[in-house]
Amino acid sequence: MPLRTWWGAARELAGAPRARLLAVAPESWREVMQDATAGGAPLLALWAGNGAPHQRAVCAALMGDAGVLVIWLPVGDGGEYPGIQDLYPAANRMQRAAADLTGIRSSDPDRRPWLRHSAWPADARPLGSPSMPPPVSPPPIDDYAFVRVLGEGVHEVAVGPVHAGTIEPGHFRFSVVGEKVLRLEERLGYAHKGIERRFSELGLLEGHRLAARVSGDSAVAFSWAYCQALEGMAGHDLPARAALLRALALELERCANHLGDLGAIGNDAGFAFGLAQFSRLKEHLLRATLQAFGQRYLLDFIVPGGTRVDLDARGAAALDEAMALLSREVPRLRDIYDEHAGLRDRFAEAGTVTLDLAVRLGLTGLAGRASGQAFDLRVDHPWPPYAGLSVKKCVQSAGDVLARVTVRFDEVRESIRLVRRILSDLDPGAHVIPIPDPDPGVFGVGLVEGWRGPVFVALEAGEGGRVRRCHPHDPSWQNWPVLEHAIIGNIVPDFPLINKSFNLSYSGQDL
C-alpha cells in the first residue's frame, strides 16, 4: 500500500518538522520498506539498540513526501530481523555496523564486521554491555573477506588505510585491468571513536558538544540536528533571532567547505593556483567567522535553546565584508575554472553517476543534486527559518566531477545571498532560552541539510536528564558505496580527483 497509508497510522514525533513514528510487527517490516521503495522514499538511516525499556529494537528512518517516517521493530533476544539491502543497498553497511555495536543482526548474508576491526572481542557489544572488556594489545588482525575479481590480466592495487598527508584512514582495494578500474571495494571503520556509547554517558543538555564532533566539518549541522530533537522533546520553540543565527552559521559552514573543496579539486587536477586562491578566500571567511562568533569552526556555537553567543554590529560588519569579497572573487575564479581546457578535460565525464544509478543506490545531498536528484531539505522540507528564506535549489544532471564542481559554485553563490539576507533580517530578540530536561522515555529526531546532505539525529531521553540513546547519521553512509561505482571504467590515478569531488566523511561514517 502507499507509504502515505503507513504515515496515517503513525504517531507524531518530536523534533524535526513533519516527523512520525510507526511501530511494526516483523511481518510488516519488509512490507513497509517495499512500499517505501516503490514510492521512491529514500532511506535516511538505520540503527539498532534499546528501543524501549528492556526491549531490543531496530529502527529505520525514511524520507517520504509527507516527512520523516521512523519505523520501529522490536527484536527478541538472539533473534534477527529481515534484511533490506536488496531494497536499499546502502543499508548493508548500516546493518553490519548495528550488528557490531549491539549484536542485533539482519537476515542478509553479508556478516562481515564493519566497525570492529578486532578492537574488541567478537562477542562484546559496545551498546549492549555496561562495561567493555579491556582491548587486546596488539589486537589480532582479522581476515576481512574482500570480494575478488578473477580473470586474465586482473590485478589488485591496495591503497591505505594510512594515506599521505593528514587525511583520515580508509582502505581502498582496486581490481584493475591495464589502466581501467573494474571494481573498487572500500573498507572503513578505522576512525571509530565510540561516539554512540559516549552519548549514553552524557546529560541531555551537554550532548550537543559531542554531536558537533561527530564530523568536525559538519559541526553546525550535527549540533543543530541534536538540539532540534532535544528542543522538540522538551516542547520548546526557538526564538526567531536564534533560528536565524543558526541558519547564518550553517550557511557559513557550507560556504567554507565548498571553498576548500573547490581549491582541493583544482589541486588534484594539477591546478595549484586554484588551491592557493580558494584557500585564501576560505581563510578570510574563517577569520570573519572568528571575529563574529569567537570561533573559526563553530563547534560549540549551537546550544540547547539557541546559540552560545549573539552577533553584534562589529561581527555582522565583518561577515558582510567577507560576503562582499566572495561576491567579487568567486565568480572570477569560476570563469578561470570554466575556461581552463586542462581542468575541463579532467573534470568532464570523470566519475560519472547517472540519475538511474543515483536513485537505485540512494545518492544524496550535494552529490545527489549533481546527478539530477533534486532534493534539498531547505526547500523540500524546510525548518525554521528556512521556510521564509526562499532558498534556491542548485541542481545539475551530468553526474560527473564537473557537475559536482558546478553545484558547489552555485551553492556558494546561494549561501552568500542567504548570509546577506539573514544579516538584514536579524531583529532584536533573545538568542537563547532555557531548555528543561525532557521526561524519561521521550523520543525525538532532528534533520538538517548539512553541506554534504541530510544530517539526521535520533535521540531518546533516559532517567535523571541523561541520554539513553543517540544515533547520529552522516549522509556519507549513503554516498561512500556510490563512489565505488563512480570510479568504474576510470583509471586509478583519477581516483583522488573523483574522491575529492564527493569529499565524504570518514569520521561521520565510522561513529
pLDDT in tens, 322-362: 999 999 999 999 999 999 999 999 999 999 999 999 999 99
- As for how many domains the chain has, the answer is 2
Residues 289 and 407 in one domain: yes
Given 106, 134, 150, the domain boundary residue is 106
Residue 269 covered by a domain: yes
Residues 86 and 207 in one domain: no
Residues 456 and 316 in one domain: yes
Distance of CA 144 to the CA centre of its chain: 26
Residue 166 covered by a domain: no
Report which listed range, 50-54, 98-102, 203-207, is most confident: 203-207
Residues 465 and 324 in one domain: yes
- b/e per residue, 405-425, with b = 16+ CB within 10 A? bbbbbbbbbbbbbbbbbbbee
Q: What tens digit of pLDDT does each residue of 278-328 get?
A: 999 999 999 999 999 999 999 999 999 999 999 999 999 999 999 999 999
Residue 216 covered by a domain: yes
Does residue 54 carry a pLDDT above 60? no
Question: pLDDT over 70 for what percent of the chain?
Answer: 98
Look-up of cell digits 568532464: 348
Residues 400 and 284 in one domain: yes
pLDDT band at 1 (very low <50, low <70, confident <90, very high): low
We report the CATH number of the domain holding residue 246 as 1.10.645.10
Residue 64 covered by a domain: yes
Given 106, 125, 153, the domain boundary residue is 106
Residues 97 and 215 in one domain: no
Cβ contacts of residue 430 below 8 Å, gap of 6+? 239, 241, 242, 306
Residue 384 covered by a domain: yes
pTM of the prediction?
0.96
Residues 220 and 92 in one domain: no
Does residue 97 carry a pLDDT above 70? yes
Residues 101 and 208 in one domain: no
Residues 209 and 67 in one domain: no
Residue 333 covered by a domain: yes
- Rounded mean pLDDT of 431-435? 97
| CA pseudo-torsion sign 86, 89, 90, 92 | positive
Residue 125 covered by a domain: no
> Rounded to the nearest 5°, which phi and psi values hold at 317?
-65, -40
Cβ contacts of residue 445 below 8 Å, gap of 6+? 13, 14, 15, 16, 19, 61, 68, 70, 229, 456, 457, 458, 459
| CA pseudo-torsion sign 139, 143, 149, 153 | positive
We report the CATH number of the domain holding residue 39 as 3.30.460.80
Residues 242 and 368 in one domain: yes
What pLDDT does 143 receive?
Answer: 85
Full domain range(s) for residue 445:
203-510
Residue 505 covered by a domain: yes
DSSP string, 400-421: SHHHHHHHHHHHHHHHHHHHHH
Look-up of cell digits 541530510: 454
Q: Give the integer Cα–Cα distance in Å for 304 and 302.
A: 7
What pLDDT does 50 receive?
Answer: 64
Residues 495 and 349 in one domain: yes
Given 56, 74, 106, the domain boundary residue is 106
Residues 217 and 366 in one domain: yes
